[in-house]
A and B are shown apart, each in its own frame.
Chain A
Amino acid sequence: DAKTTQPPSMDCAEGRAANLPCNHSTISGNEYVYWYRQIHSQGPQYIIHGLKNNETNEMASLIITEDRKSSTLILPHATLRDTAVYYCIVRVPRMDSSYKLIFGSGTRLLVRP
């Protein structure tokens, strides 16, 4: 059922950009890519999502390759509070017309002072 592959861990310096990669080579044309993060002992928090085009919001940017087989989440100026596990997720349609979020294994991002 796995749809995404992520590196298990990364680190970056505070104030620098954090670029988190995700491979989703089997993604289908109508399946969205979502990113959530989970800070220790809390529930996952929505960051951003996209289908084909690059997306930006107040938290992050999402860059999706033209072939849609991979994407990168960019936190432009990482802070210590961005230390968390980041999940790359594919939303897949089900036969009953609903959808299911398929979580990747997550990347543990450590932001260093």
Chain B
Amino acid sequence: DTEVTQTPKHLVMGMTNKKSLKCEQHMGHRAMYWYKQKAKKPPELMFVYSYEKLSINESVPSRFSPECPNSSLLNLHLHALQPEDSALYLCASSPVAGGYGYTFGSGTRLTVV
């Protein structure tokens, strides 16, 4: 299995809702990442998990809460989002943090209404 699987593919949520994005990989990678991508812009790093521990938070607002339950799973919990948070959220993994061999998922397209 050489894929990073993200669910759901599309999500529409209200500003008072709580939702979660899920990411899964079975390549034995020990680093997992969340990126945010606005339309026609490159991906921007949000969080890095290394060996299931949060190692980097790129000053992301607390309404985004990451969680790494085990080495294969990465969640992003969303609460009280704003319309400007609408974007494509990409998950990625690599054998170790910052090494070569990043594999990206296809993303969750989030719309906040």
Judged by a CB distance under 8 angstroms, whether B90 is at the interface is yes
Which residue of A43, A49, A98 is within 8 Å of B90 (Cβ)?
A: A43
Interface size for B (C-beta < 8 A) is 23
Judged by a CB distance under 8 angstroms, whether A44 is at the interface is yes
Q: How many pairs, one residue from A and one from B, have CB atoms within 8 Å of each other in the complex?
A: 52
CA of A44 to CA of B41, assembled, Å: 12
A98-B97, A100-B98 known; A43 vs B42 contact (CB < 8 Å): no
Q: A43-B92, A100-B98 are in contact. List 11 more A-B contacts (CB 8 A).
A: A36-B104, A42-B106, A43-B4, A44-B90, A46-B103, A94-B56, A98-B98, A103-B44, A105-B41, A105-B42, A106-B42
Measuring CB to CB, which residues of chain B are less than 8 angstroms from any residue of chain A? 4, 41-45, 48, 50, 55-56, 90, 92, 97-107
